[in-house]
Amino acid sequence: FEMKDQGKLKYFLGIEVAYSKNGIFIFQGKYVLDLLKETGKLGCRTSIVPIEQNHRIGSEESAPVEKAQYQRLVGKLIYLSHTRPDIAYAVSVVS
């Protein structure tokens, strides 16, 4: 099969790649913005701790969510945790 050299990698599968003299850096800034837009959470504020310890999902009254939509969101969050290990605990709780 034929291949074509496209130059240095800049963006692939939601991961942005930046090169410097110190090395290669990967991040998912655009992926996060797209995820926030999709879920309607673009204007939300950040939190130092994404979830409290021993938090129980569904322990308080909340509106029911569509199962498939929730599963897609959790899958995207799992993918995001590859470059954001600080959210890994919260993602494991919701998954």
Residue-level pLDDT at 25: 92
Residue-level pLDDT at 60: 63
Domain ranges in the chain are 11-43+65-94
First to last CA, the chain: 40
Instruction: Name the strands in the sheet holding 15-20, side by side, starting at the edge strand that comes first in the sequence.
Output: 11-12, 15-20, 23-27
Residue-level pLDDT at 50: 67
The low-confidence residues of the chain, meaning pLDDT below 70, are: 50, 57-62
